[in-house]
């Protein structure tokens, strides 16, 4: 049975990764940019999806300017909260399934272990509050929906930590990176595979695919160690690399509070979808290989 899927978003990391992955047999993915689905207008979002009547909607777009959201929470709320809710309600109305990506920022980051999918949410930033609102509206919509929380997403394209580190190394011998925030880097290509795993199961109307799941890179690290690994991979390829100065969060204040612990419990996702998260170092190496290919 042919599956008609709409991907909301076209230029972000996840949308680009979805566009690159091999197409599933009998699936058609149509990528919609802001000119077609404007996330700043939730009512128009719902109308656009209901008029197109897809079998499944994948939301690969979000307001991700974490610090800017502190002074622009209204826009972040529309894009990350109200519009995903509108997408979910549209899906419920037309009988479509819905896959949405959320974040570790819905938690307060104070846990001593990995966050379970049903752990209490307690966002500490405007960005986190906007994403938590999106989750709530989706769950209340009645749609067949899967919410995938993730963390520390990076890729060969787009604005992300990896590309920032490589850029800084072109002009600096040393960069300061926080060493007291723990999490798991997630390669956008692996996240795309996770999203499609959920989409396939939802398209088959499998009840086990509904609800909230966590997906991120395997293992754990800090931002400073992640940066050191990036520069190790860069040196191995003969690219500019910098030395990392490990600092505390207090030494690098930002407008938005970052979670000290971003680790998520990945086992429920693996059980439900049979996809084991790739170790973050192995994923980083593959991503760097992709960057090398793009550089020619």
Q: Which residues are catalytic?
A: 127
Angle at 47 between CA 44 and CA 53, to 5 degrees: 140
Give the Cα separation of 258 and 271 in Å (integer): 29
Q: Please state, in angstroms and as integers, the Cα–Cα distance from residue 286 to each residue in 4, 196, 228, 278, following that order.
A: 30, 20, 16, 11
Structural tokens at position 5:
């899927």
Report the candidate in 223, 219, 212, 255 with the shortest Cα–Cα distance to residue 121: 212
Q: What's the first-to-final CA gap in the chain, in angstroms? A: 40
Q: Are β-strands 153-154 and 174-178 bridged in parallel, bridged antiparallel, or unpaired?
A: unpaired
What is the CA 17 to chain-centroid distance, rounded? 11
Structural tokens at position 206:
């499998």
Output DSSP code: residue 114. Answer: P
Give the Cα separation of 296 and 292 in Å (integer): 6
Report the candidate in 174, 91, 175 with the shortest Cα–Cα distance to residue 140: 91
Output DSSP code: residue 80. Answer: I
């Amino acid at each position: 049975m042919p599956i008609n899927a709409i991907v909301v978003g076209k230029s972000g990391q996840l949308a680009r990764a979805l566009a690159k992955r091999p197409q599933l047999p009998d699936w058609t993915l149509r990528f919609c940019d802001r000119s077609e689905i404007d996330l700043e207008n939730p009512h128009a979002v719902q109308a656009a999806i209901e008029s197109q009547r897809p079998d499944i909607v994948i939301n690969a777009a979000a307001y991700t300017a974490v610090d800017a959201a502190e002074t622009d929470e209204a826009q972040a709320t529309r894009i990350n909260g109200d519009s995903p809710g509108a997408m979910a309600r549209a899906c419920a109305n037309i009988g479509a399934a819905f896959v949405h990506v959320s974040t570790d920022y819905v938690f307060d980051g104070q846990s001593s272990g990995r966050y379970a999918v049903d752990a209490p949410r307690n966002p500490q930033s405007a960005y986190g509050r906007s994403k938590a609102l999106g989750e709530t509206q989706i769950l209340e919509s009645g749609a067949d929906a899967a919410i995938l929380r993730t963390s520390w997403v990076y890729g060969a394209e787009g604005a992300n930590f990896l590309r920032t580190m490589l850029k800084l190394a072109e002009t600096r011998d040393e960069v300061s990176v926080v060493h007291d925030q723990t999490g798991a880097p997630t390669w956008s290509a692996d996240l795309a595979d996770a999203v499609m795993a959920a989409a396939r199961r939802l398209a088959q109307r499998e009840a086990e695919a509904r609800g909230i799941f966590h997906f991120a890179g395997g293992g754990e690290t800090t931002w400073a160690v992640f940066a050191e690994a990036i520069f190790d991979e860069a040196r191995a390829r003969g690219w500019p690399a910098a030395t990392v100065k490990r600092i505390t969060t207090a030494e690098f204040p930002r407008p938005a509070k970052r979670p000290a612990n971003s680790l998520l419990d990945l086992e429920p996702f693996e059980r439900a979808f049979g996809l084991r998260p790739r170790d973050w170092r192995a994923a980083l190496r593959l991503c760097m290989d992709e960057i090398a290919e793009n550089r020619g």
